[in-house]
Amino acid sequence: MPPKKSGQNLGSSHAIHTVKRQPAHRKIAKSLVIAISAGVLVIIITLGWAIYAINTPAGTGKPQLITIQEGSSIDSIATQLAQAKVISNDQLFKLYARLGPARGQLRPGPYMLSPGMTMVEIVDYLASGKIAARQVTIAEGKTIKQIAAVLEEDTDFKGQGFESVAKSQPEAQQLLRELNSPAGNTNPEGVYFPNTYEVLKTQDVSALAQKMLAGFRSEALLYLVNPQPEEGKEVHPYVAQLTPYQRLIVASMVEKEAAKSDDRAKIAGVFYNRLSQGMRLESDPTINYVTGKVVPSAADLTINSPYNTYRTRGLPPTPICNPSLDSIKATIYATPNDFLFFIGKDRKVYFAETYAEHQANIEKYLK
């Protein structure tokens, strides 16, 4: 038998086991994993809440007009919207406005915002620059008084007195001077250009009046002041005998007499024929301008007024409406013809060269 080694416990039946301890770096790694997992979970929860919050309306309520001033910071806009209660969290708004698709580019102007809009919708809206504006259509052939009556029925313009505003615009008087209106005439009838205009929700009828005057200057003035031939169209010879203001008067009469472009150009030619022969124009709309009627009575035709072209020779003293560009161009590029008379029925116009033909048309179409 081999000799016993010193210190060997021969009487024990159990081996001695050594306990293995985990290295310190493993404990740290495990703690980091737990911390990171917790952090990621917090981030996911926070991100989920933020996504939910920016896509959830702040509440309910009516839309309101909110004006973002030029130079406003994201912080001030957030405060303004929070005070108006259209957003529920100004900090989240600032974060999304800066880091979202808008990249902080919110545009100034008036906007219609409501608590029922999400933060995403509000930021996108402010970034688009689609300010709170509305379209206002001014129909052709209306007088200033008629335009005022139409606007008086409009909630946004009610009680603002378009008629007095229109007569007090300096630009209207400037246009009259450029048209060579007679000295002393301050009636701006005719220079309020009919069209569809975009008006901000914050603007009043004075802004609309200015837009209409600007429309006349840009669209119509040059045709009246310096008429030139256009492709396939020649300036009617009689136009040279009229001042720009008188051309506008003719255009206003043409506007009221016919609805179709071809008829308008022929009617302008009829007026020029009668003027050149010293005949009275005998136009119903000129007397209707005084009476406010659509169809004059026999008694109306005897009224002593410069607008009664059944009694007074030549043109009425002012335009009788605000004509369209189509009527202005029809006046400048009138169709030369030999007609001296016309009647209208159901948007159709019947022309005649002689009084006998004219009477025959009356018998055929009006009786």
Express as a percent the part of the chain with pLDDT over 70: 88
What pLDDT, on the 0 to 100 scale, is given for residue 12? Answer: 46
pLDDT band at 24 (very low <50, low <70, confident <90, very high): low
Distance CA 139, CA 101 (A): 41
In this structure, are 212 and 262 located in the same domain? no
Q: Is residue 5 one of the residues assigned to a domain?
A: no
Tokens 């179409």 correspond to what residue? 365
d(CA 323, CA 241): 20
Is 300 in the same domain as 190?
no
Q: 192 with 261, same domain?
A: no
Mean pLDDT of all residues in 313-333:
97
- Give the pLDDT confidence of 267-302 residue by residue, as tens digits: 999 999 999 999 999 999 999 999 999 999 999 999
Asked if residue 192 belongs to a domain, the reply is yes
Give pLDDT, residue 17. Answer: 53
Per-residue pLDDT band for 11 (boundaries 50, 70, 90) equals: very low
Using only C-alpha atoms, the chain has a radius of gyration, in whole angstroms, of: 40
Residue 259 has pLDDT above 90, yes or no: no
136: exposed, middle or buried (Cβ count in 10 Å: 0-12, 13-18, 19+): buried
Look at residue 42 in the predicted model and tell me its pLDDT: 67
pLDDT digits (tens, 9 = 90+) for 229-241: 999 899 999 999 9
Is residue 27 included in any domain, yes or no?
A: no
DSSP 298-334: TTGGG---TT-TTTS-S--SS-SS---HHHHHHHHTP
Mark whether 283 and 356 lie in a shared domain.
Answer: yes
Residue 319 lies in a domain: yes
Helix (H) or strand (E) holding 251: helix 244-257
For 98-135, how does the pLDDT look when each residue is reduced to its tens digit (9 = 90+)? 998 999 999 999 999 999 999 899 999 999 988 888 89
Task: State the DSSP string of 168-223.
Answer: T-HHHHHHHHHTTPPTT----TT-S--SEEEEETT--HHHHHHHHHHHHHHHTHHH
**What residue type is assigned to position 6 of the chain?**
S
* Integer Cα distance of 122 and 58 in angstroms: 11
How high is the mean pLDDT of the chain?
89
Q: Which domain holds residue 72?
A: 64-131
Residue 192 shares a structural domain with residue 282? no
Would you give the distance in Å from CA 154 to the centre of its chain? 15
pLDDT at 39: 65
Cβ neighbours around 259 below 10 Å, total? 14
